[in-house]
Amino acid sequence: MVDHGAVPRASQPSWLALAVDGPALELPKVEGLQRVRVVPDAASFLALLERARPRIAVVAEPPAGPGDLERIARERRRRHGLRVVQLAAPGAIQTRLQALRLGFDEALPSSVAVEELVGRLTLLEERARAHVDRTLAIANGCQLDLVAHELRRDGQLVHLRPKEFELLAVLASHPGRAYSRRQLLDRAWGHDHDGDPRTVDVHVRWLRSKIEAEPDRPVHLVTVRGLGYRFDPPDR
């Protein structure tokens, strides 16, 4: 029976692997690696992937099947800090290509040496951290890239007007902080802007239609009565 309760932070794996043999099974034995966990069945792996939130997931096929890969790929699209790698038999070229089509970050033959696997996973983790530093989680599966000036939902680009981006960037960069409409105008439009503060309301309405699951019942772009607006991130 799989335990679906919370995983204590101290025991949460940074790297999680699904494997019964091969190089992934050797990861916990590699000197210097910490918080690596290997599980032998897909059910336990998928439960841990969702609740323990590792940064790296390694999936050997088998024991993973096509349906498992699709679920893992969906979780990858939802969590911008996660990187996923598939391992398959050396001759299973089409299997590895299919994993890449689904959205896996890398697909390797199961004959890869554990030293190379560790090196590749480490590089992926370093790049993911660099990417996270420039992105903000806006909603489940929705990230704002502060460098590229892009909003993406499940990997798909969402069109933003320039001031929509500026407004969302201001709010999302300071989660939990309430801003007045005048403060938001100053920061997103500039101190020399003398327009109607209600312009902010229009842009917030547009943004809610793009990021909220229920725009009429927002949980991220929240109205602060008598003042203005606040951004609540998805993990609150």
Q: Which amino acid is at 150?
A: E
Which of 87, 16, 25, 18 has its CA nearest to residue 56? 16
Q: What is the pTM of this model?
A: 0.58
The Cα–Cα gap between 15 and 198 comes to: 47
Q: Are the CB atoms for 72 and 59 separated by under 8 Å?
A: yes
- pLDDT tens string 31-74: 888 889 999 999 999 999 988 889 899 999 999 988 999 999 98
> What is the per-residue pLDDT for 80?
67
Torsion angle (degrees, nearest 10) of CA 25, 31, 34, 35? 20
Residue 72 main-chain phi, psi, to 5 deg:
-65, -40
Instruction: Report, at the CATH architecture level, how domain 9-133 is classified.
Output: 3-Layer(aba) Sandwich (3.40)
Instruction: Give percent above pLDDT 90 in the chain.
Output: 61
- pLDDT tens string 132-176: 567 888 998 898 988 788 999 888 899 999 999 999 999 998 899
Q: Quick check: 202 pLDDT over 90?
A: yes
**CATH number for the domain running over 159-231:** 1.10.10.10
Q: Do 159-231 and 9-133 fall under one CATH topology? A: no
> What is the per-residue pLDDT for 146?
84
Q: Quick check: 3 pLDDT over 60?
A: no
Domain segments of the chain as ranges: 9-133, 159-231
- pLDDT tens string 23-38: 999 999 998 888 899 9
Joined together, the tokens standing for residue 17 give: 């692997």
Give 3-state DSSP helix, strand, coil % of the chain, rounded to 5.
40, 20, 35
Joined together, the tokens standing for residue 174 give: 């300071």
> What is the per-residue pLDDT for 5?
43
Mean per-residue pLDDT over the chain, rounded: 88
Which of 8, 22, 98 has its CA nearest to residue 58? 22
The Cα–Cα gap between 222 and 199 comes to: 16
Q: Quick check: 225 pLDDT over 90?
A: yes
